[in-house]
Amino acid sequence: MHTNRPVTRMFSAAPGWLSGLRVFLMILLGAGMVCATALAAPPSGAKGSSATSAKGAVHATYVGSDTCATCHEEVAKGFASNPHSKMALLHGNAKGVSCENCHGPGSEHVAGGGDVTKIFNPAKASAKDVDAKCLSCHAGSHPDFLRSPHAKANVSCISCHDIHGSKDETLLKAPQPTLCFQCHADERGQFSMPFHHRVKEGLIKCSDCHDPHGTFGNNNLKNTADQNMICTKCHTDVRGPFVYEHAPVKAEGCLACHTPHGSQNARLLNMPNINVLCNQCHNAVTAGAVHGQGQGSSDSVPCTSCHTYIHGSNINAAFLR
Ligand code: HEC
Ligand code: HEC
Ligand code: HEC
Ligand code: HEC
Ligand code: HEC
Ligand code: HEC
Ligand code: HEC
Ligand code: HEC
Ligand code: HEC
Ligand code: HEC
C-alpha cells in the first residue's frame, strides 16, 4: 500500500547515484521517517497544530502523485520541470519529491472529493508549520533559519519562495533585489544614493553579502572566519596580509570607514571629508612635526593623497606611495 511513496522509490534508485546525491537521499530518508512518525502519532500529539492533522489526516494514507494528478492536472504538469522533480527525473525513473511530501498523506482528501480540510495547504498554515515542513528536508543547507531575523518575524519560506508558480531556478517569488525591496524600503533608498553598490543594476546581489536564511552573525551577514571576507572576496587587493597593516582595517573591519549599501560620499565613505574621517582616530596629527601647518585640517589636501595605500602596505609603514 505504501509502495507508491516516492521516498522509497528514490532510495531504491540510490546505488548508481553520485555521492553528492546520497546526501539528498539521506535527507529524504530522514523526511520519510518524519512522515512515518507523523502517521504513527496520536491525533492529539504535539504535531496537531495544523488543521490537517487536527482533523484526522493522521488516519490518512499516501495515494501517490499520479492520483493527485487526476484532479490537479495543471499543477502536476507544471511540477515535472520543478527542481523538486527534475533532479530525480534526470537520474532514472524515480519521481523525486512527491506532492504528499509537502501536502501530507492525501487519501482522505481524495475520498472527500477534494475536501480542503483534509490536506495540508502551506498557504493557509502558520509560518512555523510551513518552515517545519520545508526544513524537514532543507535543514541541512539552512541550519540557522529558525533563529534568523526572518523566521523570528514570521517571514516563512513561502514569503520568498513560490513552489508552483516560480520559473526561477531557486523558486523565488521575484528576482533579487525586487523581492527584498518589497519589504525593505529603506534599503531601496540606500541603493539609490549617489554612490552605491550596483545592486539595482544587477551587478551584485543582496545574497552576495547576506544569507536570507540566517547566519551566526548579526544582520544575516554571511558567515566567514574573517568578517572582512564578506567584502574582500571581491575586493581582493585590500585583503592583505600586509607587512604594514593599518590597524583598524583588521580590528574594526571595513565598516569603520565604509557604508556597505550606499552613501552620499565618494568611495562609500562614512564621512564626506577624508581628513575628518582620519582625525577621528588621529587627532594629534595636525600638530605633528612631519605634517606642515594646516595639513591635518579638513580643508587641506586629503590625507590619502600622501597615505595612498590606506588599507595596508608592504613597502612603507606610513602607507606612503
Ligand atoms: C478527486 C479529485 C482530487 C484529487 C484526487 C486530489 N484533489 Fe486536491 N483538491 C480537489 C478539489 C476539488 C480541491 C478544491 C479546489 C478549490 O477549492 O479550488 C482541492 C484542493 C487541494 C488543495 C488546496 C487546499 C486548500 O486549502 O485550498 C491542495 C493543496 C490539494 N488539493 C492537494 C492535493 C494533493 C496533494 C493530492 C494528491 C494526494 C490531491 N489534492 C488529490 C480535488 C482533488
Ligand atoms: C516542495 C513542496 C511542495 C510539493 C512537492 C508540492 N506542493 Fe503543492 N503547494 C506547496 C505550497 C508551498 C503551496 C502554497 C502555495 C502558495 O503559496 O500559494 C502549494 C499549493 C498547492 C495547491 C493549492 C493551489 C492554489 O492555488 O491554492 C495545490 C492544488 C497543490 N499545491 C497541489 C500539488 C500537487 C498536485 C503536487 C504534486 C504534483 C504538489 N502540490 C507538490 C508546496 C508543494
Ligand atoms: C521531501 C523533501 C523536501 C521537502 C519537504 C521540500 N523540499 Fe525543497 N527540495 C528537495 C529536493 C530533493 C530538491 C532538489 C535538490 C536540490 O536542488 O536541492 C529541492 C529543491 C528546492 C529548491 C531549489 C534548490 C536549488 O538549488 O535550486 C528550493 C528553493 C526548495 N527546494 C524550497 C523548498 C521549500 C520552500 C519547501 C517547503 C514548502 C520545500 N523545498 C520542501 C526536497 C524537499
Ligand atoms: C527572505 C527571503 C527568503 C526566505 C524567508 C527563504 N529563502 Fe530560500 N532563498 C532566498 C534567496 C534570495 C535564494 C537565492 C540565493 C542565491 O541566489 O544565492 C534562496 C535559495 C534557496 C535554496 C537554493 C539555494 C541554497 O542556498 O540552498 C533553497 C533550497 C532554499 N532557498 C530553501 C529555503 C527554505 C527551505 C526556506 C525556509 C526554511 C527558505 N528558503 C526561506 C530567499 C529566501
Ligand atoms: C556589499 C555587501 C552588501 C550588500 C550587497 C547588501 N548588504 Fe545589507 N548589509 C551589509 C552590511 C555589512 C550590513 C551591516 C551594516 C551595519 O552593521 O551597519 C548590512 C545591513 C543590512 C540590513 C540591516 C539594516 C540595519 O540598518 O540594521 C538590512 C535590512 C539589509 N542589509 C538588507 C539588504 C538588502 C535588502 C540588500 C539588497 C537590496 C542588501 N542588504 C545588500 C552588506 C550588504
Ligand atoms: C516578506 C517580507 C520580507 C522579504 C521578502 C525579505 N525580508 Fe528581510 N526582513 C523582513 C523582516 C520582517 C525582518 C525582521 C525585522 C527587521 O529587522 O526589519 C527582516 C530582516 C532582515 C535582515 C536583518 C536585519 C537586522 O536588523 O538584523 C536582513 C539583512 C534582511 N532582512 C535581508 C533581506 C534580503 C537580502 C531579502 C531578499 C533576499 C529579504 N530580506 C527579503 C522581511 C522581509
Ligand atoms: C560581490 C562582489 C562585491 C562584494 C561582496 C563587495 N563589493 Fe564593494 N564593490 C564591488 C564592485 C563590482 C564595485 C564597483 C562598483 C561600481 O563600479 O559601481 C564595488 C565598489 C566598492 C567601493 C567603491 C569603490 C570606488 O571606486 O568608488 C567600496 C568602498 C566598496 N565596494 C566597499 C565594499 C565593502 C566595504 C564591502 C563589504 C561590506 C564590499 N565592498 C563588498 C563588488 C563587491
Ligand atoms: C581606516 C579607514 C578604512 C578602512 C578600515 C577601510 N577603508 Fe577602504 N578606503 C578608505 C579610504 C579613505 C578610501 C579612499 C581612498 C582614496 O580616496 O584614495 C578607501 C577606498 C576603498 C576602495 C576604493 C578603491 C581603492 O582601493 O581605493 C575600496 C574598494 C575599499 N576601500 C574597500 C575596503 C574594504 C573591503 C575594507 C575592509 C577590508 C576597507 N576598505 C577598509 C578607508 C578605509
Ligand atoms: C578607527 C580608527 C582609525 C581611523 C578612522 C584611521 N586610523 Fe590610521 N591608524 C589607527 C590605528 C589604531 C593605527 C595604529 C597606530 C599605532 O600603531 O600606533 C593607525 C595607523 C596609521 C598610520 C601609521 C602610523 C605609524 O605609526 O606608522 C597612518 C599613516 C595612518 N594610520 C593614517 C590614517 C589615515 C590617512 C586615515 C584616514 C584615511 C586613518 N589613518 C584612519 C586608527 C585609525
Ligand atoms: C603632504 C603629504 C601628507 C599628507 C597630506 C598627510 N601626511 Fe601623514 N605623513 C606624511 C609623511 C611624509 C609622514 C612621515 C612618514 C615617515 O615617518 O616615514 C607622515 C606620517 C603620518 C603618521 C605617522 C607618524 C605620526 O605622525 O605619528 C600618521 C598617523 C599620519 N601621517 C596621519 C596623517 C593624517 C591623518 C593625515 C590627514 C589628516 C595626513 N597624515 C596627511 C605625509 C603626509
* Segment 174-217, tens digit of pLDDT: 999 999 999 999 999 999 999 999 999 999 999 999 999 999 88
Closest ligand relative to 300 C-alpha: 10
Cα(154)–Cα(156) distance, rounded to whole angstroms?
A: 6
Q: Which atom of ligand 6 is nearest to the CA of 207?
A: 35
Amino acid at 109: H
Alpha-carbon dihedral of residues 257, 263, 265, 269, nearest 10 degrees?
10
Contact of 97 with 171, CB cutoff 8 Å: no
Q: What is the pLDDT along the chain (321 residues), one digit of tens a residue?
A: 333 333 323 333 333 333 343 434 344 444 433 333 333 333 332 333 333 444 444 589 999 999 999 999 999 999 988 999 876 655 555 557 899 999 999 999 999 999 999 999 999 999 999 999 999 999 999 999 999 999 999 999 999 999 999 999 999 999 999 999 999 999 999 999 999 999 999 999 999 999 999 998 889 999 887 889 999 999 999 999 999 999 999 999 999 999 999 999 999 999 999 999 999 998 756 555 567 655 556 567 899 999 999 999 999 999 998
Contact of 298 with 273, CB cutoff 8 Å: yes
Residues in contact with 81: Cβ distance below 8 Å, sequence separation at least 6, in sequence order: none
Q: Can you give the pLDDT at residue 1?
A: 34
Cα(301)–Cα(275) distance, rounded to whole angstroms?
A: 8
Q: List the residue whose alpha carbon is closest to atom 12 of ligand 5.
A: 260
Instruction: Catalogue the long-range contacts made by 161-164 (C-beta closer than 8 Å, 24 or more residues apart).
Output: 163/82, 163/84, 163/102, 163/122, 164/75, 164/78, 164/79, 164/82
Amino acid at 284: A
Amino acid at 227: Q
Cα(255)–Cα(69) distance, rounded to whole angstroms?
A: 53
- Pocket residue to mutate for ligand 2, from 63, 97, 102, 117, most atoms within 8 A of Cβ: 102
Q: Can you give the pLDDT at residue 295?
A: 58
The Cβ of residue 45 has, within 10 Å, a number of other Cβ atoms equal to 13
Ligand 4 binding site (Cβ under 6 Å of any ligand atom): 131, 134-135, 138, 141-142, 145, 150, 155, 157, 159-161, 170, 172, 176, 207, 212-213
State whether the Cα torsion 259-263-266-271 is positive or negative. Answer: negative
Q: Can you give the pLDDT at residue 68?
A: 97
Contact of 201 with 194, CB cutoff 8 Å: no
State whether the Cα torsion 158-161-166-171 is positive or negative. Answer: negative
